[in-house]
Amino acid sequence: MNRDNFDLSVYLVTDSTMIPEGSTFMDQVKKAIDNGATCVQLREKKIETKDFIERARAVKKLTDAAKIPLIINDRLDVALAVGASLHIGQDDMDAKEARKLLGEDKIIGVSVSTPEETKKAIADGADYVGIGLCFSTQTKVTHKIPCGPRGAQRILRAICECESDLKTCLIGGINQSNVSRVRYQSGIPDRKLDGVAVVSCIMAQEDAAKATIELAGGWNDTPAWCQSIRRLDLDQKALVARVREKHPIIHHITNNVVKNFSANVTLAVGGSPIMSESSPEFDELASFDGGLVLNAGEATPENFSMFIDAARAYNKNNKPIVYDPVGCPASAYRANFTRSMLVEGYFTVIKGNQDEIMTAAGMSLGVSGGCDSVSNAETKTVLGIAQKFALSTRSVVVVTGKTDIIADGIFDGQTDLVDCDVSKQRVALIDGGSPMMGSITGTGCSLGSVICSFVAANREDPFKATVAACRFYKDAGSVAAELAQHKGPGTFQYLFLDALYQSSIGSDLVSEF
């Protein structure tokens, strides 16, 4: 097998302890190879050396016939005995020493989790690195913290810095349900991930052939949520009208203190609100035409699994999610909650104030206040952070403030960021609104309701829909504040709802009051 020409896209790592009843180890491996596995790693932790070599020879007959590499995990002696390639961990001998013993013609892979380990692997002459841990997994006992698909980006940047051709694959909890997202979110503008390494989603399946086909399809095909993406040639009025025409169902998991206001705002703009925190119905709700507002105001340990269930249901059904990391700079717990959410789910739009977005992006200015906290970073600085965060998450990022800053990370639906012209990344700055909007609880959170309504009704262009939603919201706030002069927040609140409604039905705001 040529060290310069091997395919890591569907990398099967074997485990003989999880074979389903009615099948055998060799059956599972053969079905995987016959149906799209591009590389096989033989990993055996509890087997005698003689038996390991015997099994390796049997598997190598299959891999040789398919012209794909067989890679032995850890055991240099077994690799030498059967003429296979080798994968080593951080606790094993380094790749440089392994190369001296294995020879120049064999592939050597190294497990890494940091840029420093990656640069050492490059210096030692490794051919690829296995990056982990992507998601939590029961397959292997480990103390590593899951890095999510975006965890691969640090490794890819390190490889680019070294000007290396080192190949990469990501491992840990990857399966048919998330492989498309892994590829979509793992890349950087200069480099993409080469593949995914999987265990149980093939080895433990009753139909290993079907499982392999589905995994390969998930890796190779354009993600379902990208297939309808295109730039809409619609003006503001048309984008607004679509919301009332389509009447999307907007599922809210949100802060208790804003539920009523968020529901009324959703109704005012033409959406149909529903409040549910019941995991058993999430999949059904996600099947409707609409989207999810996931607001972290109730970020309790008890709610974490419910948040994950909701994100997975809407990701599975390819429906938009607007994630609002409310108050994430206020405590280490909330910051970690947000980071975990970004690992576990894909969000079409991520919306927050400056401090919240900086914390979510890992660029916090330090612990700050609650949901109304706003830092004073310059617009140019915040715009740069929003752009980078949007590219990293492949989401639309909204930084709210006196001027709303919106950056596009979705582009035109390309699977890989390397295929996007990032120099033409769309951004928007939206002025307007009124300080009065901050005088009532819920205006920040309910912007998420409006964005979700607009994105659900204008699925083809999430960026343009988000820009339209923010402009619509600020315009209504400006009109309501003008009419509420010399009065208080109570008057402003009902005038604001009326302004949202009048605008949504196409009325001239000023003339209607």
Instruction: Indicate which residues carry an active-site annotation.
Output: 445
Backbone angles phi, psi at 109, to 5 degrees: -115, 155
Residues 338, 352: Cα–Cα separation, whole Å: 12
Three-state secondary-structure class, residue 69: coil
What tokens does 344 get? 């576990």
- Burial classification of residue 364, based on how many CB atoms lie within 10 Å of its CB (0-12 exposed, 13-18 middle, 19 or more buried): middle
The one-letter code for the residue type at 64 is D
What are the E-state strand segments in 78-188? 85-88, 108-112, 128-131, 167-171
Bridge partners of 404, per DSSP, are 430
Distance between CA atoms of 68 and 141, rounded to whole angstroms? 28
Instruction: Please work out, in degrees rounded to the nearest 5, the angle formed at the alpha carbon of residue 181 by the alpha carbons of 180 and 183.
Output: 70
Amino acid at 297: G
Q: Are strands 128-131 and 167-171 parallel, antiparallel or unpaired?
A: parallel
Tokens of 237: 């009025």
The secondary structure element, H or E, covering residue 428 is strand 427-430
CA distance 264 to 148: 36
- Residues in contact with 300: Cβ distance below 8 Å, sequence separation at least 6, in sequence order: none
- Tell me the H-state helices in 151-297: 151-161, 179-186, 200-203, 208-220, 236-246, 259-269, 282-286
Q: Please check whether residue 268 is in contact with residue 455, taking contact to mean a CB–CB distance below 8 angstroms.
A: no
Question: Are the beta carbons of 227 and 37 closer than 8 angstroms?
Answer: no
CA dist., res. 209 & res. 198, Å (int) = 14
d(CA 27, CA 18): 13
Nearest to 255 by CA among 302, 297, 294, 293: 297
CA 295, CA 451: separation in Å to the nearest integer? 13
Which 8-state DSSP code applies to residue 191? B
